[in-house]
Structure 1
Amino acid sequence: MGDATADAAAPLRALLMGVSRFAPAVAEDEEPMPGQGWDDLPFVLPVLARLEQAYQKLAYEVRAVREPDRRAVRQHWTAVDEEQYGIVHVVSHGTTAVAGRGRTAEGSERLSMVPSCGNPGFGTDVSLWVQEANSLAHPVLFVVDLCRAGRAARVAQLAQIPDDQLHAWVIAATGPDRAAYDGAFSTAVAEVLEEMADNGLDTSPSLRFVRWDKVTSSIQNRLSATGSRQKVHSTKVDTSQPLELPFFPNPNWTGDPRLERLQTVDAPVRAFVADLGAEHFMDRVRDHFVGRRRQLAHLAPWLDDATIGGLRVVTGAPGSGKSALLGALVCTGHEEIIRAAPDIRRHLAAQQPDGVASPNPMLAAIHARNRELDAVLTSLAAQWGLPARGAGRTEPWTVPDLIEAIVALPAVPVLVFDALDEADDPADLMQRLLLPLTEALRPDGRPCLRLLVGTRRGTRFQPLLELAAAQQTLLDLDDVPDGELRADLAEHLSLRLAELPSYSAAPQRPVRTALARTVAAKLTRNAGTVRDWGPFLVARIFGRALETLPAPADVAAAEHLGASVPVTLPGVLELDLSLQPQRARLRAVLAAVAWAKGEGFPTEAVAAVAAEFDPDVNDGNVRQLLEANRFYLRTGVESDGSTLYRLFHQGLADYLQVESYLRPYTPTHPRPDSSGGPE
């Protein structure tokens, strides 16, 4: 927000002021004036102590002022600028009255904190503090636990200031004309701060601060869970433009500018990075794309050839590597990804220079998982920078509009369209968008674009598959020479094993070579099995199981272990699950994530669904299981900053949704044993 986060490394300081006892303001025989005669608040000091510890857990330097009189309140408020307090949290009585005057003098925004002397007045008006704080050089958050606290959150003078220019923010205990009770609000704030210090409210590691709407909704949820009728009032923000305010540091933050840049890439494009396994490219080498050299060498020059258009379709079994292949092309050619993560292109270019697409400003990419036509059209128009039809266009794009716009472009654009089979309505997208795109021509008679589509086989997609087959542009990844597929699989496994401590030493080279070769041979032995279950997916999960199994002692044991690899996705998944601690809970968590749509489920949704499968699952162990089993997961970011989880491959989701995923593992073959024989 503007300059609010510019000095994120500065010390965090919080000022807490709380009053529990109030001096009598008048003699016993006198009539009290408005705002006089305040009841004591015995809950304040215990709540203040808890708040002090909670803010400290978030790395705040805390100044806690107990029982301040009016002079002390005024002095500490006027020191906010000099002391650079980022948070001011007050707990006391609140009053709208002006001493010695009637209710007509109150004003609609006035709200004073009652000091211990019982005489609010000059220097205690919290609403005025908020107005003054907006002129400070640093942003200030006011956490206001007073009756009628909502008045401080609705200061008219600040209502029209844009979010990114505002420097005074408020979270208030209750509405402008409502009471606050028994410190329930501050207790809820303390609980949220404690959870925030523990898990960041599950905020994505790419975000430095926990987002505003996540914090305010969490406080309200805590209040509601206790049966309180209080409704939190806070500074209104435009949640369609996520704002990182510098008040609540995220303990999950990795400080990785690369991840932060990737989060700025449009979601339908960013998904290609995830499917390539390249979000954490620098520290997850074992998950990197390898192989498919012939296909890359064929497709990359075609994507670059600006003189032609036409259609190419890549198909194959689940786990055959369709998305990784298309991901490698998009990550090397799409300029937004190159800007955010140039290391991906450098790595792939070093592996195979002739299989790398050239950077192309007219290359658009759509990952269709859980997306529908309107969202796809909007993203394409934005990626190609298509001009709006008329000033102030607000109506949605249509396919005829899109085609009319792209045929008028000076150069033939490129579209890589993956996961058609995972779209909200795949047949609709094919019939209404993809097929019309293949038929549209430019004024010179050339096709309107170069279109590369990735999809599974299926009767729903026959028109597209048959069109590509008729044009001899259908690339079936299951229909490649056995020797080529075997070599690609062996290379994939060899690189994976070389990263494992038990296989990485020099004397282990013959062992990992023999193991990779044997597994590759087993997985390519039966063409029918290859067409049912992609061998790359099976090999990848078997590599995960090898992390747990003891490494073979010699080449013969390696060959025996390699020959035991299950050749189906269910078989290899059940093998790996049987080797994992808390396997029943892990199965329940993965089964829950299998039902995630779009970018995924947040942690609380995973916990809620998983508990239906296994009652022993709760928020705490779900977080542990998600963290320990990142291998199976891809992550996204919700609009409120929460981390979202989905399975890394749709084939896994399909299996876990359909099968009886809670049954215990009963192997149909001996469990692999690296010693050379069955257990």
Structure 2
Amino acid sequence: MLLMGVERFPTTADPHGEPAPGHTDWPRLPFVPGLMSRLDLAYKRVGYEVLSVAEPDRRAVMLHSDAAVHSSTTRIVHALSHGTPAADLSRSPAAAGQEHVHMVPACATLGTGTDVSQWVRIAHQQAQPTLFVIDLCRAGRSARLSELTRVPDGELNAWVIAATSPDRPAYDGRFSEAVAEVLEQIADHGLDTSPSIRFVRWDRVTRAIQNSLEGLGSSQRIHTTRVDVSQELPELPFFPNPRWRPGTRLEKLHDVVPPVRAFVADLGAEHFMDRVDDHFVGRQSQLHWLAAWLDDDRVGGLRVVTGAPGSGKSALLGALVCSGHEAVIDAAPDIRAYLSAQSPEGVCSPNPLLAAIHSRGRDIDAVMTSIALQWRLPSEPERRWSVADLISEAGTLPAVPALVFDALDEAEDPDDLMKSLLIPLAGAVRPDGRSLVRLLVGTRRWPAGPLLTLAGRDGGLLDLDDVPVEEIRSDLRSHMLRRLSSLPQYIPPEQRPIRTALAETVAEALTEETDRMHEWGPFLVARIFGHVLATQPVPDNVDAAVARGRTVPRSLPDVLELDLDRRPDGKDLRAVLAAVAFAKGDGFPTEAVAAVAPEFAPTPNVAAGCSLARATDQDLLQHVRGLLDAGSFYLRTGVETDGSTLYRLFHQGLADYLQAHPYPLDSATRSEAI
């Protein structure tokens, strides 16, 4: 990148007299050297080689700017000086044109090569995109060139972030100070951009610069290249995301439409290649039954999976979607390969007419639009589907389509969605007399009574709490063995009897109280307890392993509080998780978590070492980032439209508990909660 800045300008006028006609005395800009040093370091921190040119005269400005805009490798030009719209200072700014702004060089001579707007015009003609960061008075003139406003965003190769509007001054280098601050934040945490995105997005950066300016006490409003907000922005290669994880797999997962992507996240798909502990296990007989039914396009009808929170409804449906939905198979083929190796009969065939909806926070319009898109029904842009239209169009498909619909109870209006859409779909028939769709729904019992009754009439109701205890116990044992076998301290051969005894004891303990088991799903409790075991030393012998296994909590509140109590940052982490529990849809961004979490933190106490309630501004954000990383086991992530990471809890049962009990619990309160 090219960085040019001017501090001193020649003085020709008598300090006690008026400037000569056609000449301007430009005052010194004493802040420029310090800002040049800071910007030089900031750009290097985000990965740029910096050509820093201090005090360039007109010839130097012309040569360096021309070389930069014609270069195939220079991505950014940052100019810091006085700015003026007129090359001929004897003329008025209006006569000089509304789209010209010159960088005043150290010699104060304007002309060929100092017109920033001309740099932008030339750069647009080049093959690679260039960004101009312009800290001059009236710099906004370079950001709104009329001939470039008609160019589609995806074809534009000259982009501008200007310090101020076309007719306003810029003050004291505050804009460049804000840019340096944002560059430093990008180097530290990528402005919380998702690891699936290679470059920090344009709107994320420009908004951060404006916020930084306001934080510095400036009233300046930046002017930038205008973008079409109705279209997705192109990927602009100006600000590398330090959190980016190279590889197409994660990027493909985030390209999957959100109602489908949620299945991938709920199954822990992002960890399938790296972590065995999150793998789906068990439920073999249920998988075989449902996979065979989903593959039979001669039949339709309704199947409903229900059970206690944490019984494995979403995991079961997620395994089916990840093995049969073509978009998921394309993004993450390793998931299907793993499921097939575990149980070939429990794997669906790839099906172009399999649609998947995770209805968390979604309304009926969003759900129908997604179903129509996945079934590839004929549609026009912005079409609003009715249930009757959806049923009519689905009847024309060449085969009976399938729809996997999870988390009905977490929809925006579960009752309306059930009565207005799902029950009509379940009862609809095709012109040839067959059922319109094979509809598989996952839900808790309480909001879906009529749907459960309808499914039960035809033998289509699967209650995971009614599965024989021996089968659940066997599946839990397999789950714990997989978890322990992935932990380094349990891998050595001599630890085999230890991990076997521990897994068997945990599975037995979690299934011996049937009523408690149906209140809180044992798989969720076992999963969190496995996370706790990962931080503890291995038991010395089999008897100690059995004793450790008997300590497994029997409920979600118990096991969560056990994990948090053992952590030095547990109280702060609990506050962060409680904040995330209130997130809707795909989740909260980091800023929202930081705004809410201090409410749930304990009263500041130096002795307790609780810093969340005392931290402010950037320190608070940084502390929350660390806590989100520390609590990643409990979190699922999404991507906001500006590329930032969104956080939500990995299970609705966990969100329900923390919403009901967001504040720290003492022993007595905890007993009541549990």
**Could you tell me how far 1:55 is from its partner in structure 2?**
0.2
Q: How does 1:431-510 map to 2 (within 5 A)?
A: 431-458=419-446, 460-510=447-497
1:114-162 CA-to-partner distances (Å, cap 9, x unmatched) read 0111121111000010000011121110000000111110011111111
The one-letter code matched in structure 2 to 1:505 is: P
Q: 1:43 — aligned with what?
A: 31
1:19 equivalent in alignment to 2:6: yes
Q: 1:11 — aligned with what?
A: none
Q: 2:607 — aligned with what?
A: none
Residue from 405, 414, 422 that aligns with 2:410: 422
1:248-287 CA-to-partner distances (Å, cap 9, x unmatched) read 0000011021000111100000000011011231012111
TM-score computed with the length of structure 1 as normaliser: 0.94
Identify which range, 647-656 or 518-527, moves more after superposition.
518-527
The one-letter code matched in structure 1 to 2:201 is: R
Residue from 222, 240, 243 that aligns with 1:252: 243
Q: 2:564 — aligned with what?
A: 577
Q: Distance in 1 between matches of 2:634 and 2:172?
A: 46
1:587-640 CA-to-partner distances (Å, cap 9, x unmatched) read 111111111111111111111111112263221221111112211010011111
- Identity fraction in percent: 61
**Could you tell me how far 1:31 is from its partner in structure 2?**
4.4
Residue from 298, 304, 307 that aligns with 2:298: 307
The one-letter code matched in structure 2 to 1:99 is: D
Residue from 177, 180, 200 that aligns with 1:187: 177
The one-letter code matched in structure 2 to 1:19 is: V
Q: Distance in 1 between matches of 2:495 and 2:669?
A: 29
**Could you tell me how far 1:78 is from its partner in structure 2?**
1.3
Q: Distance in 1 between matches of 2:224 and 2:311?
A: 50
Residue from 331, 353, 364 that aligns with 1:362: 353
**Could you tell me how far 1:33 is from its partner in structure 2?**
3.8
Residue from 585, 589, 599 that aligns with 1:602: 589
The one-letter code matched in structure 2 to 1:304 is: D
Q: Distance in 1 between matches of 2:461 and 2:104?
A: 76
Assess if the C-alpha contact under 8 Å between 1:35 and 1:97 holds in 2.
Answer: no
The one-letter code matched in structure 1 to 2:254 is: Q
Aligned residue for 1:142, secondary structure, equals strand
Aligned residue for 2:277, secondary structure, equals helix
The one-letter code matched in structure 2 to 1:198 is: D
Assess if the C-alpha contact under 8 Å between 1:25 and 1:118 holds in 2.
Answer: no
Residue from 623, 627, 630 that aligns with 1:628: 630
Q: Distance in 1 between matches of 2:212 and 2:57?
A: 31
Identify which range, 317-326 or 19-28, moves more after superposition.
19-28
1:457-492 CA-to-partner distances (Å, cap 9, x unmatched) read 11x311101111111110000101111110000000
1:317 equivalent in alignment to 2:305: no
1:168 equivalent in alignment to 2:131: no
Q: 2:616 — aligned with what?
A: none
Kindly tell me: are residues 242 and 509 of structure 1, through their superposed partners in 2, closer, same or farther at Cα, counting changes over 3 Å?
A: farther
Q: 2:60 — aligned with what?
A: 72
1:368-413 CA-to-partner distances (Å, cap 9, x unmatched) read 001111111111111111012xxx5544111111011001212100
1:143 equivalent in alignment to 2:133: yes
**Could you tell me how far 1:549 is from its partner in structure 2?**
2.1
Q: 2:617 — aligned with what?
A: none
Q: 1:675 — aligned with what?
A: none
1:652 equivalent in alignment to 2:654: yes
1:468-519 CA-to-partner distances (Å, cap 9, x unmatched) read 1111110000101111110000000000000111211111111111111111
Kindly tell me: are residues 35 and 651 of structure 1, through their superposed partners in 2, closer, same or farther at Cα, counting changes over 3 Å?
A: farther
After TM superposition, where is structure 1 displaced by more than 6 Å over at least 4 residues in a row?
Answer: 27-30, 666-669
Residue from 605, 611, 623 that aligns with 2:598: 611
Q: 2:115 — aligned with what?
A: 125
**Could you tell me how far 1:530 is from its partner in structure 2?**
1.6
Residue from 338, 341, 363 that aligns with 1:347: 338
1:216 equivalent in alignment to 2:206: yes
**Could you tell me how far 1:35 is from its partner in structure 2?**
5.8
Aligned residue for 2:318, secondary structure, equals helix
Q: 1:94 — aligned with what?
A: 83
Q: Distance in 2 between matches of 1:469 and 1:285?
A: 36
Q: 1:3 — aligned with what?
A: none
1:206 equivalent in alignment to 2:200: no
Assess if the C-alpha contact under 8 Å between 2:324 and 2:354 holds in 1.
Answer: yes
The one-letter code matched in structure 1 to 2:485 is: A
**Could you tell me how far 1:86 is from its partner in structure 2?**
0.7
The one-letter code matched in structure 2 to 1:153 is: A
The one-letter code matched in structure 1 to 2:129 is: P
Q: Distance in 2 between matches of 1:503 and 1:666?
A: 36
Q: Distance in 2 between matches of 1:489 and 1:232?
A: 57
1:629-664 CA-to-partner distances (Å, cap 9, x unmatched) read 211010011111111111100000000110253124
Q: 2:524 — aligned with what?
A: 537
Q: 1:157 — aligned with what?
A: 147
Q: How does 1:407-418 map to 2 (within 5 A)?
A: 407-418=395-406
Assess if the C-alpha contact under 8 Å between 1:35 and 1:99 holds in 2.
Answer: no
1:524 equivalent in alignment to 2:511: yes
Structure 2: unaligned runs, 5 residues or longer: 605-610, 613-619
Assess if the C-alpha contact under 8 Å between 1:34 and 1:97 holds in 2.
Answer: no
Aligned residue for 1:631, secondary structure, equals helix
1:290-349 CA-to-partner distances (Å, cap 9, x unmatched) read 000000010001000010000000000000000000000000100000111111101110
Give the root-mean-square deviation of aligned CA atoms: 1.5
1:403 equivalent in alignment to 2:394: no
Q: How does 1:562-573 map to 2 (within 5 A)?
A: 562-573=549-560
Aligned residue for 1:282, secondary structure, equals coil
Identify which range, 393-402 or 359-368, moves more after superposition.
393-402
Aligned residue for 1:60, secondary structure, equals coil
The one-letter code matched in structure 1 to 2:88 is: A
The one-letter code matched in structure 2 to 1:275 is: D
How many residue pairs end up in the alignment? 652
Q: 1:381 — aligned with what?
A: 372
1:421-459 CA-to-partner distances (Å, cap 9, x unmatched) read 00111111001100110111111221100000000111x
Q: 1:134 — aligned with what?
A: 124
Aligned residue for 2:489, secondary structure, equals coil
Assess if the C-alpha contact under 8 Å between 1:94 and 1:149 holds in 2.
Answer: yes
TM-score computed with the length of structure 2 as normaliser: 0.95
Q: Distance in 2 between matches of 1:203 and 1:136?
A: 29
Q: Distance in 2 between matches of 1:416 and 1:82?
A: 52
Assess if the C-alpha contact under 8 Å between 1:577 and 1:587 holds in 2.
Answer: yes
Q: Distance in 2 between matches of 1:598 and 1:33?
A: 64
Aligned residue for 1:314, secondary structure, equals strand
1:85 equivalent in alignment to 2:74: yes
Q: 2:320 — aligned with what?
A: 329
